[in-house]
Structures are given as C-alpha cells and as structure tokens.
Amino acid sequence: MRLKNPNLAYEALAQHYGWALQKVFDGLDPSFPQTERVIILEEDIHTSPDFLGFMKATSKLLDTDPNLFAVSAYNDNGHMVGDPGDVQRIVRSDFFPGLGWMMNRRLWKEELEAKWPKGYWDDWLREPVQRKDRHILRPEVSRTFHFGNQGGTSANQFGSILGRIKLNKENVDWSNLDLSYLSQDRFDQEYSKLVGQSTLAHSVEEALKSVESQNTKIEYNGIDQFKDLAHRLGIMEDEKAMVPRTSYHGVVEMRPLGNRLLFLTPPT
C-alpha cells in the first residue's frame, strides 16, 4: 500500500524520533533514565545473535574517536558479501545507513537536538553540515535485516535488494576481538593499500573474471559512471549528498563471487 501523502508520514516519523531522543538523552522522565548512548531499531527489523555484542564493542570507539559520527549494523550492499563473507570485519564509511544504528549523547546534546529536522531525518543526517566528514562504522556482513515489504514511508523503495541482504547467523564474540585496526590512521593506511594493490580491470566482464582469483578494482569517473557500473553489478546505485551508499572516500566494495573483493573506486 502506497501512502497518500508520504511527506506527512516522514514528518511524523521525524517528530517521533526527535521526541524519543530528547526523552532518552535528557533523563528527566522516570520512564527514560538518562543514558550515554542509544540504539535505534525500527519495528520491522530482525537482528543477528551478536547484534548487541557488536554494538557494545564499537561503542567504545564511538565515544573516543572524534572522527566517528555513528555506528550502524547494516550494509546497504549486504547481498554482495560472498558466502558467508568476513563476519568479523568492520569498515569505516562516509555513508549513514541507518536500519539499526547507535549514536551517543554528546552528538545529540551538542549538535543535533537544537536543529532536529521536521522531516526526512535520515537524509538530513547524511548532509555534509551534519556529518562534518565524520565516518560511520558498519560490518561487512549485516547484523540487521529489514523484513517490512508493505506500506511504510519509503513504499519499499529498495525491496528487490533489501530482501536479499544476508543477515549474520554466527554468534561472534566481539569482546575478544582486537578492533584497533579501525583507528582512522591505521584503517586509512591499510585500506588504501588493499585497494591500491588490487588488479585493475577495464570492464565489468573483465572484473568479474579477475575477481574469481584476486582482489580487483574498476575505476569510475563521476557519479554517472558509478551508477552505470553499480547497476550492471547489481548493487545500490543511488547516492545522498554525492556519497554512494557504503562508500569510503568514494570506494564501494563487494564480494560478487566469493572470497575476493571487488572495488569500484575513483581513479587512484
């Protein structure tokens, strides 16, 4: 069912989010004790066995790294992570996915509370003036799965992909994992090396052959070429504020055939 006036629905949703965040972070209502962090889940989301463990482990990074904006349990291209994908891997991203995410009190009280939008809160959070070049942590293999396919404010806009997102089934013990590789300097160095050492392909067909045996990259020039390549590869094509979904410094990754990574990247 498509809503007759989706603008009103988005406005109501944003107002509800703003009210709830204010209640939780103010701590003035006995029903909502003040907290330092909040995890936001819609009602039509399944979570993985290690969802809370993932959030707890990354909460320490969120609180101490000034270059982090939020943590999300979702990968917008989570249908392209191989089988089963690297269930212990977390990456930094410039794109805010939502769909099971965490923010802290500092961000709300010092920045967002005074200017919370009247509608379209998720796209608003993706705007440069809010994100301020900060990053979002997300897992390679999603810890949430969006199962709603009727009604809703978005009218199931990306249903063909949402229904194929792989939800992690393993109970990863995040408390025993070393996440120091996610510090920005180390992550940037190692990720740049990973992409830079990948084999350059000059077409989708060449890339899909190459990625059978080695990490591979395709370079794109501009958002229009990115969208064309994304469409042909079957990943999310859209962008918000000129940031493609899941991207980090313009790089979008996937595992289309198995264990090897395929990158769409600006010229390196």
Q: How far apart are CA 233 and CA 78, in angstroms?
A: 13
Residues found in the chain: 268
Active-site residue, from 122, 123, 178, 224: 122
| CA quadruple 43, 102, 176, 139: dihedral sign | positive
Long-range pairs for 179-183: beta carbons < 8 A, 24 or more residues apart: 179/57, 179/58, 179/61, 179/90, 182/61, 182/90, 182/92, 182/137, 183/65
Please compute Rg for the chain using Cα positions.
19
Phi and psi for 41 in degrees, rounded to 5?
Answer: -130, 130
The most distant pair of C-alpha atoms in the chain lies apart, rounded to whole Å, by 61
Backbone angles phi, psi at 39, to 5 degrees: -105, 130
Active site residue 122: yes
Q: For residues 41 and 184, what is the distance between their CA atoms, to the nearest angstrom?
A: 27
Q: CA 24 to CA 31: how far, in whole Å?
A: 9
Strands (E), the chain: 37-40, 45-47, 68-72, 90-93, 101-104, 135-139, 144-146, 199-201, 216-219, 239-240, 243-244, 252-254, 262-265
Catalytic residue set: 122
